[in-house]
Amino acid sequence: MILSCADLCRQLDLPPPTPPLPDLTGVATLAAAAPGDLCFVEALDQHGAIAASAAAVVLAPLDFPEPIPRNVIRVPKPREAFFTIAERFLPPPDYSGIHPDASIDPTAALGSQVTIAPGAVLAAGVSLGDGSVIGPGVYLGPCVEVGRHCVIHANVTVQRDTRIGDRCIIHSGARIGGDGFGYQWDGSGHRKVPQLGRVVIEDDCELGSNVCVDRATLGATTVGRGSKIDNLVQIAHNVRLGEHVIMVAQSGIAGSTRIGTGCIIAGQAAISDHLRIGDGARVGGQAGVTNDVAPGAAVNGTPARAVGRNLREQAALGRLPTLLKQVKRQQQLIATLESRLAQLEGSGDPEKGG
């Protein structure tokens, strides 16, 4: 991939630099850049680092101070501009077209310009949108719907009736639409409750490796538009995630909980069932949430509580060894005083002689 500096400026709506800068062949950090790489800086004191770098072009803030190195282009938002250009350097799919070793049911409906890798299985009634890519070993169960321009990486399993919106990315090993964890005690054992619902993943979502999203008992388990789910996350049956939710690795949500729009759930946080987490709430790492969380609130700890309260309690816990020593000394002093008082009471009042 070669990108001319003129094309870069055109994409960023900038005038071309004078004199022209070299063509770009990749992207990198400033320290690791090779000739031909594009980099960016956000700090204003990077003249020395830029001079020491082999980068062909460096994107810097508009207020980057003089003197401006000749390979620097000033832009309003360097990080955002950098990643806009970096998308141009994404590698192409490993496969193109429909591989003869894919198993595709005759009733499957395939859009235009789809890619289906070897070993993929598309069951009866599958619908695959235009430009979508299905990696090797992917299983799409009966009546699964996949939207346009999705990428489903190797060895993903998507069970029956699941609907995936447009421009979704699902990474290797994810399991979508498996039965929810539903059982009913019947007096002699745990009787399985039929899981008859589905999973709906809305547009522009990304699910990391080994994410599990269980189908609903009835209705739908929903991942809202624009949500980003990290690796090893568990989303139980009938959970509803709002739009643009972030869930970090190893977090989990129990059944029928509602997560509001724009929430952030940090790593290893656990959220109990049938709760309501309000819009914009933040759940800290390893938090154990057992009650509803108000919109915009920030909680952590186990059981989860307001961050400020939790920090005060944690600080108090750190003082416990010292406080215990103080209490022990007070107890010893009290015991000494009680002993002396008992002696005085036993000897009578010395001023009242016989």
Say how far residue 38 (Cα) sits from the centre of its chain.
Answer: 27
Sheet (strand 252-253) strand order: 103-104, 121-122, 139-140, 157-158, 175-178, 212-214, 234-235, 252-253, 270-271, 288-289
Catalytic annotation on 237?
yes
pLDDT of residue 315: 86
- Per-residue DSSP letter, 206: E
174 contacts 208 by C-beta, under 8 angstroms: yes
pLDDT band at 349 (very low <50, low <70, confident <90, very high): low
Question: Which residues of the chain are in CATH 2.160.10.10 domains?
Answer: 103-308
* pLDDT band per the 50, 70, 90 thresholds, residue 310: confident
Residue 352 confidence class, pLDDT cut points 50, 70, 90? low
What DSSP element (H or E) covers 252? Answer: strand 252-253
| Fold topology of 5-89 | 3.40.1390
- Write out the two tokens for 314: 């944690």
- Whether the pLDDT of residue 68 is over 60: the answer is yes
Class of domain 103-308: mainly beta
Determine the Cα–Cα distance for residues 84 and 57; give it in Å rounded to an integer.
Answer: 15
pLDDT band at 292 (very low <50, low <70, confident <90, very high): very high
Strand, coil or helix: what is 264?
strand
Mean pLDDT, rounded, for 54-75: 94
Condensed to tens digits (0 to 9), the pLDDT of residues 165-222 reads: 999 999 999 999 999 999 999 999 999 999 999 999 999 999 999 999 999 999 999 9
Q: Give the mean pLDDT of the chain.
A: 95
Percent of the chain with pLDDT over 90: 87
Quick: pLDDT tens for 133-180: 999 999 999 999 999 999 999 999 999 999 999 999 999 999 999 999
- The pLDDT value recorded for residue 350 is 55
pLDDT of residue 354: 46
Positive or negative torsion for Cα 224, 225, 227, 233:
positive
Q: How confident is the model at residue 313 (pLDDT cuts 50, 70, 90)?
A: confident
222-237 pLDDT, tens per residue? 999 999 999 999 999 9
User: Residue 10: is its pLDDT beyond 90?
Assistant: yes
Q: Is the pTM of this model over 0.75?
A: yes
**pLDDT (average), residues 260-283:** 98
Nearest to 164 by CA among 227, 118, 210, 113: 227
Give CATH 3.40.1390.10 domain extents, the chain. 5-89
d(CA 295, CA 317): 29
